[in-house]
Amino acid sequence: MGYGEAQTRELEQTINAIDCDMVIIGTPIDLTRVVKINKPHQRVRYELQEIGRPTLEDILKMKFGKK
């Protein structure tokens, strides 16, 4: 799924209107390739480690059923 031109423009305007010290980019793509960010920004990566129950898989199965 991608963003349309209007959505991309709105995202850029929203990010640039925020009063913050830094923008943390946690998207799978390099967001700076599609929007201009007018403040300091840093791309981060993360991994999910589930501890206990329910797990994300359990929640998705409850919501959408088993496939």
Which one has a higher pLDDT value, 1 or 53? Answer: 53
Q: How far is CA 47 from the centre of its chain?
A: 13
Give me the pLDDT at residue 31, please.
92
pLDDT above 60 for 67: no
| Average pLDDT, integer, range 57-67 | 85
Task: State the pTM of this model.
Answer: 0.66
20-41 pLDDT tens trace: 999 999 988 899 999 999 999 9
Gyration radius from the chain CA atoms:
17
Q: Which of 26, 31, 23 is nearest to 7 (CA)?
A: 31
pLDDT above 70 for 17: yes
